[in-house]
Structure 1
C-alpha cells in the first residue's frame, strides 16, 4: 500500500535521484544529462498549496514523486495544472502509477480548485500513455518534433482530464 505526503526540501535529493533514473531512457524526460539538487531548488519552491508536489512512499521508503504544477502563468489558466509522475526504476510495472493517479484524482476532487489536468508524454513512452488512458485521460493533441534530445527530434502527445466542471 502506498502513502503520500507533501514533499519538503529534505526530500529533494531523493526526488532528483528518482528523476535522474529516467534520464538514460531518453523517452521520459527532456534532460540528456542528470540534474543536480542545486539546480532543482528554485523549481521546488514553485510548488504550494494550490499546485502541490508529493512524495510516494512504500515501506517507509520514498519510491516516487508526483506533482501538479502551474500549467501556464496567466490568470486565464488558473484552474489548469500540468501533471508529472516519476517512480524509481526498480518499482515500475507494479500498478503504482494507477494508485498515484487515483490519489491525485481524489486530491483534486476533495481539496484542489483544479478543473483541467494536462500530461505531456513523449510518443515513445508507451507505458505512460497507456497509464493515462486507463485512468481516464484523453489524448487531445500532438506536438510533432517539438524537442531535440540526443540529436533526435521528439514528438509529445498531450493528454487531458477534466474535473469538477
Structure 2
C-alpha cells in the first residue's frame, strides 16, 4: 500500500535521484544530462498549497513523486495545472501510476481549486500515454518536433483532463 505526503526540502535529493533515473531514456525528460539537487532548489520552492508536490512512499521508502505545477503564470490560467509523475525504476510496472492519478483526482475533487490538468508526454513514451488515457485524459493535440534532445527532434503529445 502506497501513501502520499507533501514533499519537504530534505526529500529533494531522492526526488532528483528518481528524476535522473529517467534521463538516460531520452523519451521521458527534457534533460540530456542528470540534474543536481542545487539546480532544483528554486524549482521546489514554487510548489505550495495551491500547486503541490508529493512524494510517493511504499512504507517509508520514497518510490516516486508527483506534482501539479502552475500551467502558465497568467491569471486566466489560474485553475489549470501541469502534472508530472516520476517513479523509481524498480517501482515501474506495478500499477503505482494508476494509484497516483487516482490520488491526484481525489485531491482535485476535494481540496484543490483546479479545473484542468495538462500532461505533456513525449511521443515515444507509450507507457505514460497509456496511463493517462486509462485515467480519463484525452489527447487534444501535439507539438511536433518541439524540442531537440541528443540531437534529435522530439514531439510532445498533449493530454488533458477536466474536472
Same fold (TM over 0.5): yes
Q: Deviations over 1:4-60 (max 9, x none)?
A: 000000000000000000000000000000000000000000000000000000021
Q: Using the alignment, how far apart are the partners of 1:59 and 1:4 within structure 2?
A: 10
Match of residue 128 from structure 1: 128
Q: Is it true that 1:74 corresponds to 2:87 in the alignment?
A: no
Match of residue 26 from structure 1: 26
Q: Using the alignment, how far apart are the partners of 2:48 and 2:60 within structure 1?
A: 24
Question: Runs of 5+ in structure 1 lacking a partner?
Answer: none
Runs of 4+ with deviation above 6 angstroms? none
Match of residue 54 from structure 2: 54
Question: Runs of 5+ in structure 2 lacking a partner?
Answer: none
State the superposition RMSD in angstroms: 0.3
Q: Using the alignment, how far apart are the partners of 2:150 and 2:50 within structure 1?
A: 35
Taking the TM superposition and a 5 Å limit, the aligned residue runs for 1:45-124 are 45-124=45-124
Q: Using the alignment, how far apart are the partners of 2:109 and 2:78 within structure 1?
A: 16
Q: Using the alignment, how far apart are the partners of 1:65 and 1:109 within structure 2?
A: 20
Q: Using the alignment, how far apart are the partners of 1:153 and 1:162 within structure 2?
A: 30
Query: What is the TM-score normalised by the length of structure 2?
Result: 1.00
Query: What is the TM-score normalised by the length of structure 1?
Result: 0.98
Q: Using the alignment, how far apart are the partners of 2:111 and 2:2 within structure 1?
A: 19
Q: Using the alignment, how far apart are the partners of 2:67 and 2:120 within structure 1?
A: 13
Match of residue 35 from structure 1: 35
Q: Using the alignment, how far apart are the partners of 2:135 and 2:26 within structure 1?
A: 24
Q: Using the alignment, how far apart are the partners of 1:145 and 1:89 within structure 2?
A: 27
Q: How many pairs does the alignment contain?
A: 163
